[in-house]
Chains A and B, each alone.
Chain A
Amino acid sequence: MNQFVIAPLLVALCTAIVTLLTRRFGRVQRALSVLGAVGYVAAVAWLITAVYPAGDPAVYHLGDWVAPYGIVLVADSLSAFMLAISAVVTLPALVYATRHVSAFGQKVSFHPLFHLMVVGVTGSFLTGDIFNLFVWFEVMLLSSYVLVVFYSGPEQTTATLRYVVLNLVGSAVMLLAIGGLYAATGTLNMADMAHRLANAQQYGVHVTPVLGLTALLFAVFMVKAGAVPFHWWVPDAYAAAPAPVSAVLAGVVKKVGVYAVIRLYFTVFAAAPLTDLAVPGDTVLGFFGIVLLAMAVLSMLFGGLAAVGQRDLNRLLAYSSIGQVGFILVALAAAALRPEFAAVGITAALVYSLTHGLAKGLLFLLAGVVEDATGTIRLDELGGLARTSPVVAGAFLLGGLGLVGIPPLVGFFGKFLVFDALARADVVVGLAAALVGAILTVAYVSSAWNRGFWGEPSAAVEGWDADSVQVACVVVLALGVVAAGVGFNPILEFARAGADAAIDRSAYIAAVLERGGGAA
């Protein structure tokens, strides 16, 4: 059996349970929680070494039920890449949280909830069953609801109310779409569904209803990714959540929506022929190419413009997340519109996801450090942080320039690959919007730098008192942004393997249905 496939999931789940059981013993709980996060990184590393160079998807049959009858977990290079993003963001965020979240909060519920959120994310990245994906989404969301409302003040309750209602409606819509897809294709297994859709006539599958149902599902994933027009929950929720939670929400949870789009629309639904609508390539994927492009353009422009005007560092970062997800989606749009450049587009989207995970995770944690050390997060009350704390200011510069895309930081390669994909696929609208989006990124990063870090220290900044562990976590992520840029080649190879895994439908189907035979 391929136990390494399920290892990250089990490690995170066991950590959640153990931290729940040991909550009477604060130190033990914190130690076990950090140990669990390290274990998670190790489990992900094990999975990557087992899956990535070999290339073939590894399949774990839950309860030893063969596909397509039982639920399968599938680990290929794409899942492995997403898990790597999750691992590199969650560990620093958790270590940081042990010094940032109030002792009472940690004791009551923080650690179990944090790890359960990681369980949900991991499950979503690994599952090969579409209904199981819904369940993992719910695991992730329910934990994130409580984490967003964590301090349960006026701001948090209002933000969470919006977040919860939107996502509950989203869950109902997702259930509808999945039920409909089951009725239309007769299966819930992703590989089996891909196989049936590719041979639609043979299996008597009507593709037109599938298009509508996948569009419903797409809306749900875009809610998760926080793309315009489903972005309005993002700023309030990210600003209300504790800093390490915002870091994981922006760095990892957002990417679950991106991953779901790549996995389902490029691997599963892409092959479905769609001849009665005049869409590029005459496939379901071509239809979503146009939708992705529109949403990506709007996200880049809206997120960038809104971020420039923010007075609050957290909100600035939250709006920036909306803009940055636009860059990821525009690369996917290029991939969907011109299937011959699909690999280039997906590679760009994956690298950009990693870039954004590292840089935004770093910046949200840094906002938390600033808030803890000065008592405020409003940019007009800050100023001169570069003088009082050069280390933190340096980390901000690295994270900010990482978003902007200055070589040799990893952000440069992210932006470069996105522009390269757009130029090669000849998506002029996307290219123009991405250029404007990039300029807006420069504008809001430099505006935050000028107002918060440059100049004379303000009264709040004079009393700077930062926790060294918190600063260390921020510095580690900042070094990560540099290291990932300097040693970029292995990352690029890994992302390329992930993109190939996303497109190589037949390998995915063969790996999953190998033992099933039922639908072959």
Chain B
Amino acid sequence: MTETTLAVVLGALFAFGTYLVLRRDVVRVVWGVTIISQAANAYLITMGDIAGSVPVLSHHGPPFSGTTDPLVQALVLTAIVIGFGTTAFALVLTYRVYEEHGTIDLEEL
């Protein structure tokens, strides 16, 4: 059940992000990229198994069964920090594009 829900949510997030990336408005493009990268993070978390059955460093066997993989959470934490920096830069760049061109419409750039 959880797996199906997650798969649908992730799919929807990627679809929505892709839709936004293809817009003309630069701010929406940046939003789209942010949503895609957050969707990637959410996907990464699911690789650690939300239901809590995958052990720490191997995919099988006791005595570790019944734990959620903490490694992917560490990875996602790293990815979130990097995403924060890149999003901030993308937004500043968007403002700079507006200052230089007087528009953020990609068709007019």
Given contacts A157-B100, A179-B40, A183-B47, 8 further A-B contacts (CB under 8 A): A142-B85, A145-B93, A149-B93, A153-B100, A165-B30, A172-B37, A186-B58, A187-B57
Q: Are B40 and A176 in contact (CB under 8 A)?
A: yes
Residues of B close to A188: CB separation below 8 A = 71
Question: B24 at interface (Cβ–Cβ under 8 A)?
Answer: no
A142 and B89 in contact (CB under 8 A), knowing A131-B75, A161-B97, A165-B33?
Answer: yes
Minimum CB–CB distance for B7 against chain A, Å: 13
Please indicate the chain B residues that have their CB under 8 angstroms from the CB of A135 in the complex. 78, 82
Which residues, 141 to 159 on A, are CB-close (under 8 Å) to B?
A: 142, 145-146, 149, 152-154, 157-158
Known: A158-B97, A164-B89, A186-B58. Is A172-B36 also a contact (CB below 8 A)? Answer: yes
From residue B31, how far is it (CB to closest CB) to chain A in Å? 11
Interface size class of B (residues with CB under 8 A): 20 to 34
Q: State the CA gap A173–B33 with chains docked (Å).
A: 11
> Are A168 and B37 neighbours in the complex by a CB distance under 8 Å?
yes
Chain B stretch 43-76: residues in CB contact (< 8 A) with chain A: 43-44, 47, 57-60, 71-72, 75
Give A367 to B43 CA distance when docked, in angstroms: 45
The answer to whether A158 touches B109 (Cβ under 8 A) is yes
Minimum CB–CB distance for A220 against chain B, Å: 12
Cα separation A135 to B30 with both chains bound (whole Å): 21
Q: What B residues does A204 contact at CB under 8 A?
A: 59-60
CB pair A168–B43 under 8 Å, yes or no, is no
Inter-chain contacts of A518 with B (CB < 8 A): 57
If A135-B82, A142-B86, A204-B60 touch, whether A168 touches B33 (CB-CB below 8 Å) is: yes
Q: In this assembly, does B90 line the interface, its C-beta being within 8 Å of a C-beta of chain A?
A: yes
Majority SS of interface residues in chain B? Answer: helix
Q: Are B33's CB and A161's CB within 8 A?
A: no
State which residues 189-221 of A face B: CB under 8 Å.
204
Please indicate the chain A residues that have their CB under 8 angstroms from the CB of B47 in the complex. Answer: 179-180, 182-183
Report Cα–Cα, A187/B78, bound state, in Å: 17
Q: Are A186 and B101 also in contact (CB < 8 A) when A168-B33, A180-B47 are? A: no
Given known contacts A152-B96, A161-B93, A175-B44, A169 and B36 CB-to-CB distance under 8 angstroms: yes
The residues of A that contact B79 with a CB separation of less than 8 Å are 134, 175
Q: In the complex, A266→B15 CA distance in Å?
A: 33
Please list 21 pairs of residues, one from A and one from B, whose beta carbons are closer than 8 Å in the complex, sorted by A's number.
A68-B57, A138-B86, A142-B82, A142-B85, A142-B89, A154-B101, A157-B93, A157-B96, A161-B97, A164-B86, A165-B21, A168-B90, A169-B36, A175-B40, A175-B44, A176-B44, A178-B75, A179-B43, A179-B72, A186-B59, A204-B60
Least distance between A123 CB and chain B CB atoms (Å): 14
Using a CB–CB distance below 8 Å, which chain A residues touch chain B? Answer: 68-69, 131, 134-135, 138, 142, 145-146, 149, 152-154, 157-158, 160-161, 164-165, 168-169, 171-173, 175-176, 178-180, 182-183, 186-188, 204, 518
Q: Please name the residue on chain B nearest to A175 by beta carbon.
A: B40
With both beta carbons as reference points, the residue of chain B lying nearest to A152 in the complex is identified as B96
Residues of A within 8 A of B90 (CB): 164-165, 168
Give Cα A69 to B86, complex, Å.
28
Given contacts A152-B100, A158-B101, contact A172 B33 (CB under 8 A): yes
Contact B40–A172 (Cβ < 8 Å):
yes
Give me the interface of B with A, judged by CB distance under 8 Å.
Answer: 21, 26, 29-30, 33, 36-37, 39-41, 43-44, 47, 57-60, 71-72, 75, 78-79, 82, 85-86, 89-90, 93-94, 96-97, 100-101, 109
**B86 contact set on A, CB distance < 8 A:** 138, 142, 164, 168, 171
Q: Which residues of A contact B93 (CB under 8 A)?
A: 145, 149, 157, 160-161, 164
Q: Which of A149, A153, A165 has the most CB of B within 10 A?
A: A165
Which residues of the other chain, B, contact A187 by a CB distance below 8 angstroms? 57
In the assembly, what is the distance between CA of A152 and CA of B97, in Å? 9
- Nearest B residue to A167, CB-CB: B86
Give the one of A149, A165, A172 with max B CB within 10 A. Answer: A172
Residues of chain B within 8 A of A158, CB atoms compared: 97, 101, 109
- When chains A and B are docked, how far (Å) is the Cα of A131 from the Cα of B97? 32
Expressed in whole angstroms, the Cα–Cα distance for A157 and B26 within the complex equals 12
Instruction: Give the complex CA separation of A188 and B79 in angstroms.
Output: 15
Closest 5 CB pairs between A and B?
A179-B44, A183-B47, A172-B37, A172-B40, A175-B40
Cα of A182 to Cα of B100 in the assembled complex, Å? 43
Alpha-carbon gap, A69 to B59, bound state (A): 14
Q: Give the CA-CA distance A263 to B5 in the complex, in Å.
A: 37
Instruction: Check B101–A171 contact: CB distance below 8 A.
Output: no
Q: Which B residues lie within 8 Å of A168 (CB)?
A: 33, 36-37, 86, 90
Please give the distance in Å from A476's CB to the nearest CB on chain B. 34
Cα distance, A164 to B79, chains bound together (Å) = 16
- Within the complex, the shortest CB–CB distance from A514 to chain B, in Å, comes to 18
Q: Contacts A169-B36, A175-B41 known; A182 to B59 CB distance under 8 Å?
A: no
How far is the CB of B8 from the nearest CB of chain A, in Å?
17
Question: In the complex, are the beta carbons of B44 and A165 less than 8 A apart?
Answer: no
Q: How far is the CA of A186 from the CA of B43 in the complex (A)?
A: 16
